[in-house]
Amino acid sequence: MTVSLPDAPWWASAVVYQVYPRSFADSDGDGIGDLRGIASKLDHLELLGVDVIWLSPVYPSPQDDAGYDISDYQGIDPTFGTLDDFDALLADVHARGMKLVMDLVVNHTSDEHPWFVKSRSSQDHPKRDWYWWRPAREGMEAGQPGAEPTNWGSAFSGSAWQHDEVTGEYYLHLFSRKQPDLNWENPEVREALYAMMRWWLDRGVDGFRMDVINFISKDMAADGSLPDGDVPDGGLFGNGRPHFTCGPRIHEFLQEMHREVFAGRRSGLLTVGEMPGVTVNDAILFTDPARAEVDMVFQFEHVELDHGADKWDVRPLRLTDLKKSFGRWQLGLADVGWNSLYWDNHDAPRAVSRFGDDGEFRERSATMLATVLHLHRGTPYVYQGEELGMTGAHFERIDQYRDIESLNHFAEALEHGRATEESLLEALRASSRDNSRTPVQWDATENAGFTTGEPWIAVNPNYPEINAAEQHDNPSSVFHFYRSLITLRHAEPAVALGDFTMLMPDDEAVYAFLRRHGQTELLVLGNFSTEPRPVLIFDTAAWTGAQLVLCNIDSGAVTDDSSLPELQPWEARVYRRQVG
Ligand code: TEU
């Protein structure tokens, strides 16, 4: 049962589940997941208890970046099904009391989108200015090395500019060559995108997860030029990020979008902006309800704490850094705005393999990570398979990878002699996006029950042990633990709304905090290590006799002693007491 919380937005007590359709469930044996596959697994999501499904892109797409390169915003890729399949899925999701949120990818389109095909056709085409076309750098000839309009690198290796033979100009693509950036400076572009968004809302969808939405406003000078970025030591390209992250018109664009698309619509919609590089101060502005921009943002700080020079250079996570970061976000958005909470998604390696122990303590570390995350203030997101404690792919060979970012990085680093094949494979094993893109493990039959065909990416060979069928029947499984966490958020206002106080900020192994709402106080404890660890909080005696609400060790901890028992490896506990 979900308690209704007066004065609180509905999503304070909601949990969102991300479906990455290629890897979720395949209904027709082509090896790629599809809409009917998703429909066939709604029982699983209903049993889990999630409130909202976020569907990664299912639109027509050449699939250069797994669907984040869209060639038609108002259709469904035949690989995934039809609009009728979509409507049927949406109706079923609604009938089960859940909502469905679409992925909105409007920083860029596919180069095969008719808008870009027209834009590329000539310098005079009315759609020319819908994208970022620029001539070669002054004094240089188009196509020459270094003649790109700016020195920015793309997120997927190489320059962010592509020379186009048809007109001799360059177009901007912050991601792949097949993902040209839309020019949001042009009001016609914005109007076309808003109309498309209204069309989906009219169809019944419940909101949008907005892909790299804080990149849409670029730092353009009055003469139309864009600035060069600083080149890091030994780097091949300049860093353009400061020139397009939360750019000068970003708030204006989001407020306009809100007015044009969301204002006056039914309540119960959800908007979440994916925002790499967003700071707490930016996030307060983006999520202040009075400003009418978005409900919440995905920030990236906590998933970059283990990065060295870049994402391929992984360092061990210092727990104190994680606490500092999460603590700052909790405090920053305590009064105004709202946090979203996540470990995993289709771009990140799985947290159980990254911050936990995916060997001996897989279940315990997966459930500990989940407890710590879900008990923060904010809306938690569960990425498919996370609720099963699925582990990273850790592929051995380059031909097992499918992700454009991974493949391009491998090729570029080898070409420039920056690393050996062996060290690159090691970096991919830790950080590749494909780690989390392997098919959902439904049961112990061939291909984990994901497909009857040849899966587009290999199934993790551990599926006979880690799969949904086994966990549905096993009350002490990771799946049932996630259910308990979701039930707790639904039922306990202190989880949804309580104040947050970090405890033990300097401890490198134990994550501890309080949540307080009215007379109810929760104590959350998680051991991020394989050693037993003491709980060193000021008033342990106050917790004598407190109710143990949740624990990830079957035998459970007892509190009839005047101190809190030490935490076992990767143990998590949540206590509740009444105060004042
Ligand atoms: O991701 C944006 C983003 O900046 C990263 O998470 C990105 O994957 C980065 O390169 C990781 O190192 C979004 C989507 O979630 C991602 O799947 C798309 O590839 C990207 O935008 C482009 O649409």
DSSP tally for the chain: helices H, then strands E: 15, 16
Assign 2 a pLDDT band (cuts: 50, 70, 90): low
CA–CA separation, 109 vs 111, rounded Å? Answer: 6
CA–centroid distance, 570 to ligand 1, in Å, is 30
Q: Give the closest residue (by CA) to ligand 1 atom 7.
A: 347
Q: Residues 141-153: what's their mean pLDDT?
A: 96
**Rounded distance between C-alpha atoms, residue 320 and residue 140, angstroms:** 50
Q: Which of 211, 293, 295, 306 is catalytic?
A: 211
Residue 5 predicted with pLDDT over 70: no
Residue 580: pLDDT band (50, 70, 90) is: confident
- H or E element at residue 273: strand 270-274
Q: Mind listing the pLDDT tens digit for each residue in 256-296?
A: 999 999 999 999 999 999 999 999 999 999 999 999 999 99
Per 3-state DSSP, what percentage of the chain is helix, strand, and coil (rounded to 5)? Answer: 35, 15, 50
Helix H, strand E, coil C: the string for 383-447 is: ECCHHHCCCCCCCCCHHHCCCHHHHHHHHHHHHCCCCCHHHHHHHHHHHCHHHHCCCCCCCCCHH
Cα 347 to averaged position of ligand 1 atoms, centre (Å) = 6
Q: List the residue whose alpha carbon is closest to atom 17 of ligand 1.
A: 347
Give the C-alpha separation, 210 to 205, whole Å: 14
Atom of ligand 1 nearest to the CA of 155: 10
CA of 229 to the centre of ligand 1 (A): 20
Contact between 374 and 321 under an 8 Å Cβ cutoff? The reply is no
Q: How far from 261 is each of 165, 194, 248, 357, CA to CA, in Å? A: 37, 6, 21, 44
Is 211 a known active-site residue? yes
Residue having the nearest C-alpha atom to atom 23 of ligand 1: 68
Integer angstrom CA distances of residue 514 from 521, 537, 547: 7, 11, 14
Q: How would you classify the pairing of strands 99-104 and 207-210?
A: parallel
Mutate to test the pocket of ligand 1, among 211, 304, 314, 342 (most ligand atoms within 8 A of CB): 211
Q: Give the pocket of ligand 1 (CB within 6 Å).
A: 65, 68, 105, 155, 175, 211-212, 274, 276, 311, 346-347, 405
* Residue with token string 């870009």: 116
Collect contacts of 298-302 with beta carbons under 8 A, ≥24 apart.
298/272, 298/273, 298/274, 298/340, 298/342, 298/381, 299/275, 299/329, 299/340, 300/275, 300/276, 301/325, 301/329, 302/326
Which residue has its alpha carbon closest to ligand 1 atom 11?
347
Atom of ligand 1 nearest to the CA of 347: 8
Which residue, judged by its Cα, is nearest atom 14 of ligand 1?
A: 211
Strand partners, 514: 501, 523
Mean pLDDT of the chain: 96
Among candidate residues 60, 47, 50, the one with its CA nearest the CA of residue 86: 60
Rounded Cα distance, 484 and 476, in Å:
11
- Residue 510 has a pLDDT of 98
Q: Residue 150 above 80 pLDDT?
A: yes
Task: Write the pLDDT tens digit of every residue in 474-524.
Answer: 999 999 999 999 999 999 999 999 999 999 999 999 999 999 999 999 999
